[in-house]
Amino acid sequence: MQEKAPWDVKRELLTKSDDETDPRYGCKPEERPYPDIIKFGIINLDKPPGPSSHEVTAWVKRILNIEHAGHGGTLEPLQPLA
Amino acid sequence: MTGVLPIALEEATKVIQALLIAGKEYVGVMKLHKDMSERRIREVFDEFKGKIYQRPPARASVKKVLRTRTIYYLDILEIEGRNILFKVGCEAGTYIRKLVFDIGRALGCGAHMHELRRIRAGPFTENNIVTLHDTLYLYNKWLETNDIKILRKFILPMERALDFMPKIFIRDSAVDAVCHGAHLTAPGITHVESGIKPSDKVAIFTLKGEAVALGTAIASTEEILKATHGIMVRTDRVLMPRGTYPKLWK
């Protein structure tokens, strides 16, 4: 059988032993305050043609004035036509 | 070429390994070097679905040995003369330029890639994609207004990178031990997703939905649900800083 793409796989959440979480610790990801929103953040970037994935990552670092950033998978460069 | 390039910031760079192994989706235009019948083109496209063998191209950064990759789907969207507009869903590390070249060889006419755009990297798609210009504009607007809603418009929580990984949720009392690199044992687990098999890569979450760590399951979903003790997940990569949750372990 043809293997499904990970985004087409449906998973069900099953309860083993439910519990409550203490609101004094941690934070829902969607409610993170500044600067944690950046510290634990990802930008879904539309890479422009031309610069490398690495160069684009460096630009994002400069724009946001942050120390570290990394990209999730190099986009193969388009080679000039022979 | 352009398209979806997720960029992880600061601490979130730790989730990159999950994105590197995540499947990708592309749309592209392949140019045939001779005229071919539509029937033949469709036949050959069908042969490239499922497991394929691929030798990485000369300029690739990996060893040039034949390896298998899974093509989840390979759809022809339009054929116009020698141009074929296609969409492909594939395993991480599939070289699309090479795929197009190999399809051209199988057709016997030769082919090359004319255009390519990545439309998905794991959970990230062209929905809510932003350009570098958007990033610069919105960041400056945030500096001016101090309105956090503006940051939330273009910076997503790192947890979104793990949307398609099988998830295991743990109670507050188990969080800090995992943050210190401890393996996850059965009593700490509250919920588990279906379909997990031993040696699957999984993500460990708090009950608030925060990512704690990436790990490798050593039991199946069914076994985890039944277990009363023992290690269920080997912790590979801690994502949450120590001390976020109280230390309730010795």
Task: Using the predicted structure, report yes or no on whether residue A1 has a pLDDT greater than 80.
Answer: no
Whether B84 and B104 share a structural domain = yes
Would you state the structure tokens that stand for residue A77, as one six-digit string? 């460069």
Shortest Cα distance, chain A CAs vs residue B216, angstroms: 17
Residue A22: which of B5, B131, B172 has the nearest Cβ? B172
pLDDT confidence tier of residue A58, bands split at 50, 70 and 90: very high
Whether B9 and B48 share a structural domain = yes
pTM value? 0.92
Residues B45, B74 contacting (CB under 8 angstroms):
yes
Whether B9 and B41 share a structural domain = yes
Question: Does residue B250 sit within a domain?
Answer: no
Domain end call among B67, B100, B125: B125
Burial (CB < 10 A; 0-12, 13-18, 19+), residue B187, is middle
Whether B47 and B113 share a structural domain = yes
Whether B146 and B159 share a structural domain = yes
Distance CA(B191)–CA(B205), nearest Å, equals 10
Whether B136 and B109 share a structural domain = no
Q: Which residues of A touch B46 (CB under 8 A)?
A: none
Contact B11 A15 (CB under 8 A): no
Task: Using the predicted structure, report yes or no on whether residue B1 has a pLDDT greater than 80.
Answer: no
Question: Does residue B140 sit within a domain?
Answer: yes
Question: Does residue B246 sit within a domain?
Answer: no
Contact A41 B9 (CB under 8 A): yes
Q: Which of A15-29, B52-66, B77-91 has the lowest mean pLDDT?
A: B52-66
Whether B12 and B34 share a structural domain = yes
Nearest CA in chain A to B88: A5
Mean pLDDT, residues B107-112: 97
What domain range is B87 assigned to?
2-125
Whether B93 and B198 share a structural domain = no
Whether B119 and B19 share a structural domain = yes
Whether B21 and B71 share a structural domain = yes
Shortest Cα distance, chain B CAs vs residue A12, angstroms: 5
Task: Using the predicted structure, report yes or no on whether residue B119 has a pLDDT greater than 60.
Answer: yes
Residue A55: how many CB atoms within 10 A of its CB? 11
Q: Which residues of B touch A39 (CB under 8 A)?
A: 9-12
Shortest Cα distance, chain A CAs vs residue B38, angstroms: 23
Coil, helix or strand at residue B188: helix
Number of domains in chain B: 3
Whether B211 and B189 share a structural domain = yes
pLDDT of B200: 96
Inform me whether the C-beta atom of residue B177 falls under 8 Å from chain A C-beta atoms.
no
Shortest Cα distance, chain A CAs vs residue B121, angstroms: 8
Would you state the structure tokens that stand for residue A10, as one six-digit string? 């449906």
Q: Which residues of A touch B157 (CB under 8 A)?
A: 29-30, 32, 37, 40-42
Question: Does residue B23 sit within a domain?
Answer: yes
What share of residues in chain B are helix, strand, coil (percent, to 5)? 30, 35, 35
Whether B110 and B212 share a structural domain = no
Residues B42, B76 contacting (CB under 8 angstroms):
yes
CATH code, B210 = 2.30.130.10
Question: Does residue B36 sit within a domain?
Answer: yes
Contact A56 B92 (CB under 8 A): no
Would you state the structure tokens that stand for residue B130, as one six-digit string? 């932003």
Question: Does residue B244 sit within a domain?
Answer: no
Residue pLDDT, tens place only, A3-50: 899 999 999 999 999 999 999 999 999 999 999 999 999 999 999 998
